[in-house]
Amino acid sequence: MKDTEIKKEKKATPLVQVTIDDKKVMVESGSTILDAANQAGIKIPTLCAMPEINHYPGSCRMCVVEVEGMPCLAASCVYPVRDGMVVHTHTERVIKARKTVLELLVSSHPLDCMTCEKNGECDLQDLAYEYGIKESKYGRNEKNLPLDDSNPFILRDLNKCILCRRCVEICNEIQQSKAIGIGFRGKKTEIIAGIGNELGHETNITIGSDENPDYSQCVSCGQCVAVCPVGALTDKAAIGKGRAWEFEKVHTTCNYCGCGCGFDLNIKDGKVVKVTSNADSVVNGINLCVKGRFGNDYIHREDRLKTPLIRKNGKLEPASWEEALQLVSDKFKDIKEKHGSDSLAVLSSAKCTNEENFLLMKFARAVLGTNNVDHCARLCHSATVAGLAQAFGSGAMTNSIKEIANASVIYVTGSNTTENHPIIALEIKKAVTKNGAKLIVADPREIELTKYATLWLRQRPGTDVALFNGLMNVIITEGLEDKGFIKEKTEDYEKMKEIVLKYTPEIVEKLTGVSAEDIKKAARIYAKGPRTSLIYSMGITQHTTGTDNVLSTANIAMLTGNVGKESTGVNPLRGQSNVQGACDLGALPNVYSGYQKVTDPQINEKFSKAWGADLSNQVGLTVVEILNAAYEGKVKGIFVMAENPAMSDPDLNHAREALKKTEFLVVSDMFMTETAEMADVVLPGVSFVEKDGTITNTERRVQRFHKAIEPIGEAKPEWQMISELAQKMGYQMSYNHPSEIMEEIAELTPIYGGMFYPRLEEKGMQWPCLDANHPGTKFLHKGKFSRGKGKFFPVEFREAAELPDEEYPLIFTTGRVLYHFHTGTVTRKSKGLNEVYKEALVEISPQDAKKWSIKDGAMVEVASRRGKIKAKAKVTEKSDDGVVFMSFHFHEAAANLLTNAALDPVAKIPEYKVCAVKIKKVS
C-alpha cells in the first residue's frame, strides 16, 4: 500500500457541536451523548456502559438524559449526537427516571451489603446512596438462585446480577470465548453459561476445543469479574480476606509471558490478596489472562525458600547469608585460581529484572572474568536475535502489540498465541472480527486461532523454510513483490530470488504437505496486504534451522514491503516476561548490554574502563555448551539465577548428568526446583512483588516492577545477592536501589540511553530510546533499516536433524498450555491452575490412536532415542496424523527427556520442535 492510500483510509471524521449542561463541546460525528459528556468532563452515571467494552449494551437506563426537542429521555450511552444538540443531564425528570431504575434494581437485589464482597466498590451501592434510595416501592423480589461455585477462580451469585450485560459483552466481543450469554425471557432472564449453566470448565481443557459441549467455553480470564459492577462475580480466593478500603493497590507488571500486562496488586497486612485490572495499563487495559489474574497465589506458599541452604554431608541444610555467600566466594575464587576464569559460568534469567540480568553479566565478566553467560533465550529466541540482526540490524519485534489490531493481513506461524500470549491473541481476534483483517495460520497443530483463519496451512513440522520459499516463489512469479521497496531499501534480492524460484508450489506441496493451491492463495493474500503483520514464536525458532526460518520471515516481509510501517513487520513473541530484557542487557556470551560485541576492541575498552576490570574478548559458551563442558569436567562452577535447566534443557538425562558432575553449583530461586535439588548452595530469591526493577516486554517496552511487600523470610532480590557476592570476592559493587543500576545501564547502553525510572513510571518506554529527551520507538526501521539496507538471505530447505523411521515412526513436538508456564516452577504451585490442568497429556490423532490401539485417557509410554516418559493420551484432531504433541510443564512426565539437543549452527538453539518417537499403551 502506498502512503497516500493509508492517509485516505485515515480520513478525519467530521466534528459536530453539542451543548451539555450549558457547556459547548466539539465531538466526532457518530459519538454518543455519553462520549460527548465524558469529553466535556460531565459525569453521567452508568451501570452497563464502560469505556473498556466495545459497544455499550444500553440495558440499564441509568444514563438517561433529556435532549431538547425530544419527547422521551434518551439513553446517553447509545444515543448519537447531532450538530446543535442541547442536552441536560440532571433535570428533575432525569433524576426521577434514574431513581425508578435504581428502585427496580434494588427490589430484586439482596440487601446484604454488610457481608457482600463488593461492599465499598459496588456501583449499585454507590448510586443508591447518591440518589437516596433506601427502600423500593416495588417491594422485595429476590431471585433465590443457587450459587455457581463450579469455576475454580470465580464465584457467581446470580441473585446479585443486575443484568447489565457487561460480562456478556466482554466475554463475547473482546475475549471472544463466548462462554456466557443471556438466557430465558422476561422476569426469568438470566446470564447463562454452558448447558448446565455453570462457569466451571473441563479439567485438562484444550483451548478452542468444542469436544465437550456440556462444559462452558470459559477460559477463566476473569474479564467478567473485572467489569461486574456489583457482587455477582467475585474472585473466589479473595473472599473474606479484606474490604475494598483496606487494600493498598500497587501497580506492577505481570511476570508470566512476554506480553507485559499491567495490573494492580491488592495488598493487606503485607500479603497479596488478589490482582485487579487497571484500565491505564498500556498493553492490556483491563484484560488479563488466567495466570496473570489468578495465578499468583504461589507467592505466599509455605514451601517458599526462606533461608540460604548449604549442602553438608549430602544434605541441604539451612545457613546464614554470611556463611553461604562466603562459601560461594571461596569456591569460585578457588576454581578460578586453579582452572582459570572460563571454568566458571553463569546462567541468567528471563524471569529476573533488567537490572539483575545486567548485574549478573557484569559479575561474570568483571568478577569471574568469563563471557560464559547465557540464559534461556538461547533455548527460545536466540534464532530471532541471530536472524533478524543479520537481515534488519536488530533482533527484536519490529512493531507494537496495539498495531496488530489495525493490520489488514496477519500471518501467524509457530505461535499458539491464544495459549502462550493470550492478550496478543485478543488483538489478532479484534483485527479479524472487528476490523476485517484476513488471518493466515501456518501451524502443524490445530490451534484456537485456526477458527478465525481465512486459511490454515498445516505444514509438516520442520518444513517452514520450504513453505516460505513457496510463498515467495508465487509472489515473485506473479509480480506481487514491492519493487520500489526492494530497490530502495534492500540488498541481495537477486541472490534470494535465484533460490526461491526453485521452490514452485508443486515442489513445496510435496515437501510440506500444504496444497499448491493454498500456497498460491496465501501468497496472494500476504502480498496484497496492504498492511501485513507476520507473527511468530518458538514454533519457528526451536529448530536446527531456526535461524534459517527467521531469515525467511525477514525475506518475505521485505519482499512485500512490510517493514518500517505501522501494523506490519516481523513480530517474534517472546516467551518469558523478560526474555527481551535479558538479551538486551547482555546476558549472552557474545555481547554486552545493547548487543555491543565483546570482540569489538573499542566496546571492550569502554566496558573495561567503566567497570575497572580487564574484560575477556573471547566469546563465551552458550547454555547447552556450558552443560556439555560441565559434563566433560571443563566447566566446574556454575551460578544459576532463577532458572531450571534440569527441566528446560533438551535431552534432560544428559543435562541433569552434567549438573550433577558440576563441582560447585549455586542456584538462586524461590522454590526448591529440580536444579536447586542438585545444588551445593541454594540462595532464596524473591518473587516479582517483593522487589523494584524493570522488565522489557516483547514489543521492546521497558516497564516497572513495583515492590509491594517485603521479601518472605530471609529471601533477597537477586540484584542484592549478586552485589554482596561480588563484594565478598573483592570487587566493589554497591547499589542502594535498582534505579542506580538503571543509570549505569543507560550510560553504557545506547538503546537504553534515555531509560530512567521517572520516565518509565506510567507507560514504560520502547527502545531504542537514545537519550533523556528521546520519546522511544513505536516501530523499527522507519525510513531505513537499523543496519542501513535490509539484507535478503538465500535460504535452502534442510530437513530436521532427526526424522521418523521404522523404529521411531512419529514426530514429537512440544509447546505450552494456557494454564501453565515454562517448567511449572510457579504455576504447578498455584491451586486453581492445578485444579484446571492437572497432568501431562500426550496428544495423538484419532488415526494414530487407532493404529496403536490407544484409547482417550489411556496411559501411554512415549520413547525417543534419549529417554522415555509415561503420561495419559489425549486423542484429538488437533494433532495431525504422524505427530505427537506434549507440553513441557510436568516434571513427572518431562517432555524434554525425549527432545533432541541437536543445535542450530548459528544460534545454537536446540531442536525442541521435532524429534522421532515411538508410542505404546501401558497399563
Looking at residues 443 to 502 of the shown chain, list those that interact with ligand FES (rule: CB under 6 A): none
Residue 719 exposed, middle or buried by CB count within 10 Å (0-12, 13-18, 19+):
buried
Q: Which helix (H) or strand (E) holds 815?
A: strand 810-815
Q: Kindly list the distances between the CA atom of residue 13 and the CA atoms of 17, 51, 425, 479, 863, in Å, as whole numbers in the listed order.
A: 13, 20, 29, 36, 62
Q: Figure out which of the listed residues 37, 53, 62, 87 binds ligand FES, where binding follows CB under 6 A.
A: 62
- The yes or no reply on residue 862 touching ligand FES (CB under 6 A) is no
Stretch that binds ligand FES, among 48-56, 105-113, 181-189, 195-203 (CB under 6 A): 48-56
- Nine cell digits for residue 405: 489490531
Output the smallest distance, CB 165 to ligand FES, in A. 9
- The yes or no reply on residue 75 touching ligand FES (CB under 6 A) is yes
Stretch that binds ligand FES, among 43-51, 484-492, 611-619, 872-880 (CB under 6 A): 43-51
Q: Which is nearer to ligand FES, 77 or 167 (CB)?
A: 77
- The yes or no reply on residue 46 touching ligand FES (CB under 6 A) is yes
Tell me the torsion sign for CA atoms 611, 616, 617, 620. Answer: negative
Quote the CA–CA distance of 21 and 315 in Å, as a whole number: 75
DSSP string, 79-137: PBP-TTEEEESS-HHHHHHHHHHHHHHHHTS---TTT-TTTTS-HHHHHHHHTT--S-T
Stretch that binds ligand FES, among 41-49, 450-458, 475-483, 641-649 (CB under 6 A): 41-49
Cα Dmax for the chain: 93
Q: Figure out which of the listed residues 23, 61, 271, 798 binds ligand FES, where binding follows CB under 6 A.
A: 61
Stretch that binds ligand FES, among 45-53, 86-94, 599-607, 828-836 (CB under 6 A): 45-53
Output the smallest distance, CB 186 to ligand FES, in A. 19
Number of residues lying near ligand FES (CB under 6 A): 13
Q: Which is nearer to ligand FES, 58 or 181 (CB)?
A: 58
Q: Which is nearer to ligand FES, 229 or 685 (CB)?
A: 229
Q: Which is nearer to ligand FES, 31 or 417 (CB)?
A: 31
Beta strands in 223-364 (DSSP E): 233-235, 248-253, 262-268, 271-276, 309-312, 315-318, 344-347
Quote the CA–CA distance of 649 and 656 in Å, as a whole number: 9
Output the smallest distance, CB 501 to ligand FES, in A. 60
Q: Which is nearer to ligand FES, 53 or 335 (CB)?
A: 53
Q: Are the CB atoms for 273 and 248 separated by under 8 Å?
A: no
Q: Which is nearer to ligand FES, 173 or 491 (CB)?
A: 173
Output the smallest distance, CB 437 to ligand FES, in A. 30
Output the smallest distance, CB 37 to ligand FES, in A. 11
3-state class of 489 per DSSP?
Answer: helix
Stretch that binds ligand FES, among 2-10, 56-64, 357-365, 542-550 (CB under 6 A): 56-64
Q: Which is nearer to ligand FES, 63 or 267 (CB)?
A: 63
Please name the residues in contact with 483: beta carbons below 8 A apart, sequence gap of 6 or more: none
Q: Are the CB atoms for 802 and 810 separated by under 8 Å?
A: no
Stretch that binds ligand FES, among 40-48, 521-529, 728-736, 845-853 (CB under 6 A): 40-48
Tell me the torsion sign for CA atoms 898, 903, 909, 914. Answer: negative
Quote the CA–CA distance of 644 and 347 in Å, as a whole number: 10
Output the smallest distance, CB 405 to ligand FES, in A. 25
Q: Are the CB atoms for 167 and 227 separated by under 8 Å?
A: yes
Q: Are the CB atoms for 263 and 275 separated by under 8 Å?
A: yes
- The yes or no reply on residue 391 touching ligand FES (CB under 6 A) is no
Output the smallest distance, CB 51 to ligand FES, in A. 11
Q: Which is nearer to ligand FES, 48 or 623 (CB)?
A: 48
Looking at residues 182 to 241 of the shown chain, list those that interact with ligand FES (rule: CB under 6 A): none
Q: Figure out which of the listed residues 1, 27, 63, 811 binds ligand FES, where binding follows CB under 6 A.
A: 63
Output the smallest distance, CB 32 to ligand FES, in A. 9
Looking at residues 329 to 388 of the shown chain, list those that interact with ligand FES (rule: CB under 6 A): none
Q: Kindly list the distances between the CA atom of residue 907 and the CA atoms of 16, 598, 739, in Å, as whole numbers in the listed order.
A: 57, 17, 32
Q: How would you label 110-138 residue by residue, b for 16+ Cβ within 10 Å and e otherwise?
A: beebeebbbeebbbbbebbeebebeebee
Output the smallest distance, CB 35 to ligand FES, in A. 12
Q: Figure out which of the listed residues 6, 17, 28, 58 binds ligand FES, where binding follows CB under 6 A.
A: 58
Q: Identify the CA nearest to 821 among candidates 890, 870, 753, 754.
A: 890
- Nine cell digits for residue 320: 546464614
Angle (CA) 829-830-834 rounded to 5° is: 95
Output the smallest distance, CB 101 to ligand FES, in A. 9
Output the smallest distance, CB 49 to ligand FES, in A. 4
Quote the CA–CA distance of 258 and 572 in Å, as a whole number: 10
Q: Which is nearer to ligand FES, 15 or 279 (CB)?
A: 279
Stretch that binds ligand FES, among 59-67, 461-469, 643-651, 849-857 (CB under 6 A): 59-67
- Nine cell digits for residue 332: 569460585
Q: Figure out which of the listed residues 16, 47, 221, 755 binds ligand FES, where binding follows CB under 6 A.
A: 47
Stretch that binds ligand FES, among 44-52, 360-368, 701-709, 733-741 (CB under 6 A): 44-52
- The yes or no reply on residue 48 touching ligand FES (CB under 6 A) is yes
Please name the residues in contact with 378: beta carbons below 8 A apart, sequence gap of 6 or more: 588, 622, 623, 624, 907, 908, 909
Stretch that binds ligand FES, among 53-61, 179-187, 219-227, 334-342 (CB under 6 A): 53-61
Quote the CA–CA distance of 58 and 78 in Å, as a whole number: 6
Q: Figure out which of the listed residues 27, 42, 77, 559 binds ligand FES, where binding follows CB under 6 A.
A: 77
3-state class of 166 per DSSP?
Answer: helix
Output the smallest distance, CB 765 to ligand FES, in A. 36
Output the smallest distance, CB 162 to ligand FES, in A. 10
Distance of CA 99 to the CA centre of its chain: 44
Q: Which is nearer to ligand FES, 48 or 712 (CB)?
A: 48
Output the smallest distance, CB 127 to ligand FES, in A. 11
CA Rg value for the chain: 29
Stretch that binds ligand FES, among 47-55, 196-204, 358-366, 738-746 (CB under 6 A): 47-55
Give me the residue label for grid cell 562459601: 327
- Nine cell digits for residue 455: 486459511
- The yes or no reply on residue 60 touching ligand FES (CB under 6 A) is yes
Tell me the torsion sign for CA atoms 437, 445, 888, 291. Answer: positive
Output the smallest distance, CB 164 to ligand FES, in A. 7
Stretch that binds ligand FES, among 54-62, 791-799, 825-833, 846-854 (CB under 6 A): 54-62
Q: Which is nearer to ligand FES, 37 or 760 (CB)?
A: 37
Output the smallest distance, CB 182 to ligand FES, in A. 15
Q: Are the CB atoms for 579 and 350 separated by under 8 Å?
A: yes
Q: Identify the CA nearest to 644 among candidates 890, 870, 816, 818.
A: 890
3-state class of 253 per DSSP?
Answer: strand
Q: Which is nearer to ligand FES, 124 or 380 (CB)?
A: 124
**Applying CB under 6 A, which residues contact ligand FES?**
46-49, 56, 58-63, 75, 77
